[in-house]
Structure 1
Amino acid sequence: MSTKHHNAVGPQVRRKKQGNKLLPALGVLSLGGGLQAATQYFAAAFNYQESLGVHINHVYSPWSILQWGTAWYSQYPNEFMQAGSVGILVSTTGLLSVAVAKVIASNSSKATEHLHGSARWAGEQDIQAAGLLPRPRTFLEAVTGKESPSSTGVYVGGWEDNQGKFYYLRHNGPEHVLTYAPTRSGKGVGLVVPTLLSWPASAVITDLKGELWALTAGWRKRHAKNKVLNFAPASVSGGVCWNPLDEIRTGTEYEVGDVQNLAALIVDPDGKGLESHWQKTAFALLVGVILHALYKAKQEGTQATLPSVDAMLADPNRDIAELWMEMVTYGHYQNGENHPAIGSAARDMMDRPEEEAGSVLSTAKSYLALYRDPVVAKNVSQSEFRIKDLMNHDDPVSLYIVTQPNDKSRLKPLVRVMVNMIVRLLADKMEFENGRPVAHYKHRLLLMLDEFPSLGKLEILQESLAFVAGYGIKCYLICQDINQLKSRETGYGHDEQITSNCHVQNAYPPNRIETAEHLSRLTGQTTVIKEQITTSGRRTAAMMGQVSRTIQEVQRPLLTADECLRMPGPRKNAAGEIEEAGDMVIYVAGYPAIYGKQPLYFKDSIFQARASIPAPLLSDKLIQVHDEVEITI
């Protein structure tokens, strides 16, 4: 008993095989032609006699000969035999032709379509199946006015069909998006701004230079009904204040863990880990001092802040030994007991040699130098919103983290603290009911992080991508190229998990060959059918001596690295402004790659009108602070 091997390759293993229906159809046609010939021959033999009901110049149905034979065969047997012979001759000729065609087809060489790979560019049905284009609405959706999920969500690119019609591609699932786009390639005007001018729920946006605030905050406040918060730590006025220490859950079992997470970010501003002895000891010291500042401020009715922690360590009017003694003897709890974590940190410093203790102290103070800037100190002195408000306020909340280019490097530690706390506090617990997770938030949150590798390695971000979608958080991550992401010094290393946790990846024309090679591998390998013709004989002869054709399957990337580098980018004028969109590629896991077109918000009258709405002059505030009494708005 022979077994037919199931050796289909690639995704087409589940494709239903379509048999060749042409030859069977020709066989049936041959039989029908024989009956038709017999019918017409019999009618002609009687000269289309009216007496038999046979009319002149009439084409009869093929089965008429069968009806006539039933009625008149006994009277005209010879005529029917002659007609039958003609029909058999015609049918036999047709069937022989079909048999010859079958033999020729069996002996002809055929190309194996997917021998070396089955990659192809996505068509409209593929893009619809991937959820980036709205599917045709059903009757029920049309009656109820229900909107397709792909009619909302974030913008991941554009696509032109064969007729040149342009479509926006949008993704609204819980999965994350990763974009590769070099500087000045148009990612802001093509992806970020359209998304922020249409996303209705809460959002956290890293905004260099404040451009996104100027273009999108007006629409988000007026029409998306968002509370818009402008957190600009280096700005003198108009922004919202936020104190990281207000997010510490003091008095709970989480307080030490919260302070340790905060201290680790303070002493590791680049995300390289606690490598040196001085970083580790400074970390242990800051955990105790921050906890002491929180408990002391609570008992004295003051506000604990990072500037106050720095002032506590650098008080010129007080010997540092007095601080260690205070931490060891202070009654942090209501019963007058000392906090063990605080006392241990102070005792550790008291037991160190004077020179080593001085080095640990100076290391800790160096990491708090940012908060000696009076502008930054003012903006982190109190909280006019809380992290939990982003997803649980009555209205959606849009938080713009604005850093000017000249302040970007020095403010990086503070931005890292904020992003870290957003992830930790908004994805801290999950409850289940009837075997399903229960959402504990009022609004979804879009984490729009432009140039996120510039924040250094945020381990919590990399680890949380695998599960934050379940908490209603969707990440839109943008980097310049794959090298920036995989850098061992400033990125996540070659074993990074960012790419594997992003369902959608899109890319503008890259500048680096490493990124082009990565995109080429994502696009896949395809099989090209190569036909080679060989001739012999003199060129001037009337006929060639011999012509032979050879069909060969050849493997090649659907998009080679050099083709990726040569993708047309946006066309700009002399002032550097984009006048015409370039090409891009979009990858959705499990679907063919999409060769797309960059969208441009200013080419769309609706987006242009939304971007023209002026941004608020002052940031919204969710908490008003009067005489140290917080009033939630």
Structure 2
Amino acid sequence: MGKARIATGVLLVTLVTAAMGYTIASAVLTYQDLGFGAEIDFAYIAQNYMAILDRRPEDAQLIHLIIGSFAAAGLMLSLALSGSALTRFGQTHWQSAREMKANGFFGAPGTGFILGKLGSPRSRAKYICSKVFPHALIVAPTGRGKTTGFVIPNLLTWQGSAVTLDVKGECFEATARHRAAQGDKVYRFAPTDWEGKRTHRYNPLLRIYQLKDPARQQMELQLLATLFLQSDNDRVQGLLKGGIDLFVAAGLLAFQRKRPTLGEIYRIAASGGNKQKEYFARGHEVDNRAAKLIFTRLASTNNDTLTSYVSLLMTSGLDQWQNPAIDDATAVSDFDFRTIRKKPFSVYLVVQPLMVKPLAPLIRLFFSDLLSAMQEKDPGPDEPWPVMIMLDEFNRLGKMPIVVESIETLRTYRGHLAVVTQTIPALDEIYGENTRRALQGNAGVKLYLTPSDEKTVEELSKAVGKTTKTVVTRSQSIGKNPFEGRSQSTRTEESSLLPEDEARRLPLDEIVMVIDAQMPVRAKRIQYFDDRLFKAIHAAQTGELPFPEPGGGGAQGTLPLSVQAMPMTPPASGGHGPETDAVVESARQVPGSQTLGQIDVAPKKTVPVVQAVIAQEQRQMELDFGDQVADAETVGVDDEAQMRSAVGGLDDMEAMLRKGDGEKRVAR
């Protein structure tokens, strides 16, 4: 309670008691003059006060004494009663319906995130809709109903485009027909739909490929590569830079071949044979100077280090593109995120629960491409539609810095982001406490559904805030009679509005909302299958689910996969043998590539580099096969056989060089 309100209360109590004193004084004066049977004239003192002061000073003193005594008693009483208010601590309370209305939480469904309801699902109570805050963080352990109580209700009512990470495909089945009936074009991106193969296609590289500036393409590929190369192992941090360089160079080469796909990058990076020879040949094939420099540097790098680069790329998620289904699903794009605000469409990224971790790199690319496309430029007058982004299982996707950065500015681009995680510690493990707090702060609304782990319980209790409670202590001395030895004391102390014990036992049908700069809200969770509004919307859906045609799109590019994955051999100096001529001709046949003859086969430029590669490989043979492996593991029999095969290839290459140069000898 504020000091002004306390002072006002003290003044009012004093005035009331003074008025009571005036009444008593009027009665005393009337009885004194007219006797006990006379009617009391309450206006007599006020009308004749000056005459009483002049002619009856003793009566005036009596009037002053009575009124003053009552006023003093009222003042002391009010000060005593207000003493506890002056020692209040926290003042947090649950928002009332009137406060929520004033704060804009009773908007029409579809204009913001629907968070909960003021009554049970079957009641006609008001829905809580966040119009003021565009983003929300939902903390909900498994089985708390975040899909049925948050994701599906919002998909059934949202007015605009929607992009959803749909684990198990439940959201697509429950809402896709309704969104299609509302005019949305519905896309189901399900690269691991092994049985039905009913998936639309999405190529995360297409936006970068269509950029005109090669330097910007390189930068975008570097940013994209960081989404792949994530490792908590400090032992491999030094290999990250090399892995990123390899990814970028392979991406630029894939662009030159007019096959801008992650599958093509996989084939370039993981093609068999000796890595040094392979990357030397790629360096001659690619036209981009930056990529050429990277491949040339990689060609002179220790072969085991190169193997570590490739291994890191594969274990970070790129090896998923050896699967032809995933390769085909990401070969082309059936939708373009750059047009998502012009005409509403809905995209469901359908992933089975066990595939969330393996496909986490693709999921990170998917949503990062969406956020990047939305923030390329401010929305124009022809882009009126807001975009709802449902990012479920956020704690299982790895680090996504673009989400933390975009949540600060996404509102400007008509984006509404909902991040769903199971626990607070899961976010701390990936992002750290400071970054997690920044994510919470920018979310605006934090929605909690019955937390389970101790840290989340503690975090919720603290976030709700403190209040002041009155504690009454009673004591009685033993052996005293009932009227003696008793005492009672009253004090105020600070207390959590939602203690940890209560937060831990929060009913499963209740939610707690922590809102920036506002009092918290405690309400009921929505259950769309029991709710009057959402049950009717869901039941009104008719027809077949808008599945895409089975089989996906056709092959990307003009060359078969066997040719795309074929290792390339460095060009020889002088005369060209059949093998070299075939490689150069294959490079020339790549659509859009330039003629490489004068650059690729210049004897004076290629021979010293090839000689260095051969010398490096022979020195490598003198080392123990296990000493140079990046993770300090022993090289197996297969690795030794691969190395011997590579050395045999080097001998063949040396013979070819001798044949082309006549008497010129290769230094060993």
TM range (shorter): 0.7 to 0.9
Range that drifts further, 94-103 or 12-21: 12-21
Q: 1:455 aligns with which of 383, 389, 397?
A: 397
**Pair 1:182 & 2:141 matched:** yes
Report the AA paired with residue 260 of structure 2. Answer: A
Partner SS, residue 603 of structure 1: coil
Which whole-Å CA distance do the structure 1 matches of 2:112 and 2:382 have between them?
21
1:166, 1:263 → 2: CA distance?
49
Q: Offset at 1:182?
A: 1.0
1:383 aligns with 2:333: yes
- Tell me the secondary structure at the aligned position of residue 602 of structure 1: coil
Cα deviation digits, residues 48-82 of structure 1 (max 9, x gap): 9xxxxxxxxxx797447888999xx9xxx9xx989
State which of 216, 226, 240 in structure 2 corresponds to 1:264: 226
Contact map agreement 1:180 1:482 (CA 8 A) in 2 = yes
Match of 2:501 among 562, 570, 575: 562
CA deviations over 1:365-419 (Å, ceiling 9, x no partner): 565321121211221111111121222x3x2122111001232222221111111
Aligned mates of 1:315, 1:547 — CA distance in 2? 90
Partner Cα distance (1:549, 1:478) in 2: 50
Distance 1:418 1:13 in 2: 55
The answer on 1:525 being equivalent to 2:485 is no
Structure 2 SS opposite 1:617: coil
Task: Flag the 1:538–1:99 CA change in 2: closer, same or farther, 3 A.
Answer: farther
> Which position in structure 1 is the counterpart of 2:249?
288
Q: Over residues 88-140 of structure 1, what are the superposed CA-to-partner deviations in whole Å (9 max), with x where a residue is unaligned?
A: 867753542333343455567832465332232222233234432x3xxxxxx
Hey, what does 1:204 align to over in structure 2? 163
Residues 295 and 274 of structure 1: is their aligned pair in 2 closer, same or farther, counting only changes over 3 Å?
A: farther
Question: Is residue 433 of structure 2 the alignment partner of residue 494 of structure 1?
Answer: yes
Equivalences for residues 198-237 of structure 1 within 5 A: 198-223=157-182, 225-235=183-193, 236-237=196-197
Q: Which has the higher strand share?
A: 1
Deviations 1:344-369 (A, max 9, x none): 12111222234444443455456532
**Cα distance, 1:174 vs structure 2:** 4.4
Equivalent pair of 2:18/2:74 in contact (CA under 8 Å): no
**Which residue of the partner structure matches residue 110 of structure 1?**
83
- CA distance 1:102–1:346, shift in 2 (3 Å): closer
Contact 2:137 2:446 in 1 (8 A): yes
Q: Structure 1 residue 311 and structure 2 residue 267: aligned?
A: yes
Q: Does structure 1 residue 243 correspond to structure 2 residue 171?
A: no
The counterpart of 2:408, out of the listed 452, 466, 491, is 466
- Give the alignment's TM-score, normalised by structure 2: 0.71
1:254 lines up with 2:216 in the alignment = yes
Aligned with 1:506 (options 423, 427, 447): 447
Q: CA contact under 8 A between 1:267 and 1:282: conserved in structure 2?
A: yes
- 1:422 corresponds to: 370
Summarize the Cα distance change of 1:18–1:195 in structure 2 as closer, same or farther, 3 Å threshold.
Answer: farther
Instruction: Classify 1:625/1:177 alpha carbon distance in 2 versus 1 (closer, same or farther; 3 Å).
Output: same
User: Using a 3 Å threshold, how does the CA distance of structure 1 residues 421 and 555 change in structure 2: closer, same or farther?
Assistant: same
> Partner residue of 1:54?
none
Contact 1:238 1:617 in 2 (8 A): no
Stretches of structure 1 lacking an aligned partner (at least 5 in a row) = 1-7, 49-58, 135-147, 298-302, 333-337, 432-437, 570-581
- What letter corresponds to residue 200 of structure 2 in structure 1? V
**SS at 2:118 equivalent:** strand
Cα-to-partner distance string for 1:498-536 (whole Å, 9 max, x where unaligned): 222221112111111111111111122222212234556
State the Cα deviation string for residues 419-478 of structure 1 (Å, max 9, x = none): 1211222223459xxxxxx88843212221111111011122122222222222221111
Offset at 1:322? 6.9
Mapped to 2, the partners of 1:151 and 1:30 lie a distance apart of 61
- Where do 1:328-477 residues align within 5 Å? 328-330=283-285, 338-361=287-310, 363-364=312-313, 367-391=317-341, 393=342, 395-430=343-378, 441-477=383-419
Amino acid of the structure 1 residue aligned with 2:185: K
Tell me how far 1:151 sits from its aligned partner: 8.0
CA 1:99 to 1:407, structure 2 compared with 1: closer, same or farther past 3 Å? closer
Q: CA deviation at 1:197?
A: 1.3
Q: Distance in 1 between matches of 2:309 and 2:143?
A: 43
Change over 3 Å in CA distance of 1:583–1:526 after alignment to 2: same
**Gap runs ≥5 in structure 2:** 558-668
Which residue is 1:137 aligned to?
none
**What is the root-mean-square deviation in Å for CA atoms of aligned residues?**
3.9
Q: Which residue of 2 aligns with 1:618?
A: 546
TM superposition score normalised by structure 1: 0.75
Residues 314 and 585 (structure 1), Cα distance of their counterparts in 2 relative to 1, 3 Å cut: closer
Q: Is contact 1:216-1:615 (8 Å) kept?
A: no
Question: 1:502 is aligned with what amino acid?
Answer: A
Q: 2:595 aligns to what?
A: none
Question: Secondary structure of 2:494's partner?
Answer: strand
Specify the SS of the correspondent of 2:431.
Answer: coil
Q: Is the 8 A contact 1:35 1:87 kept in 2?
A: no
- 1:596 alignment partner, one of 523, 529, 547: 523
Q: Specify the code of the residue in structure 2 equivalent to 1:416.
A: R
Letter in 2 for 1:128: K
Q: What is the distance in 1 between the residues matched to 2:49 and 2:418?
A: 79
Match in the other structure for 2:18: 27
Once residues 48 and 224 of structure 2 are traced to their aligned partners in structure 1, the CA distance between those partners, rounded to angstroms, is: 100
Q: Which residue of 2 aligns with 1:97?
A: 70
Matching residue's letter, 1:218: R
Higher helix share: 2
* CA shift in 2, pair 1:85/1:17, >3 Å: closer
Q: Secondary structure at the match of 2:257?
A: helix
- Cα distance in 2 between the residues matched to 1:13 and 1:477: 41
Kept in 2: contact 1:39–1:60 (CA 8 A): yes
For 2:479 and 2:234, locate their aligned partners in 1 and report how far apart those are by CA, in whole Å: 76
Structure 1 distance, partners of 2:461, 2:535, is 34
The 1-side partners of 2:235 and 2:249 are apart by 17
Q: What is the number of equivalent residue pairs in this alignment?
A: 543
CA, structure 1 residues 243+287, in 2 after alignment: closer, same or farther (shift >3 Å)? same
Question: Residues 90 and 618 of structure 1: is their aligned pair in 2 closer, same or farther, counting only changes over 3 Å?
Answer: same
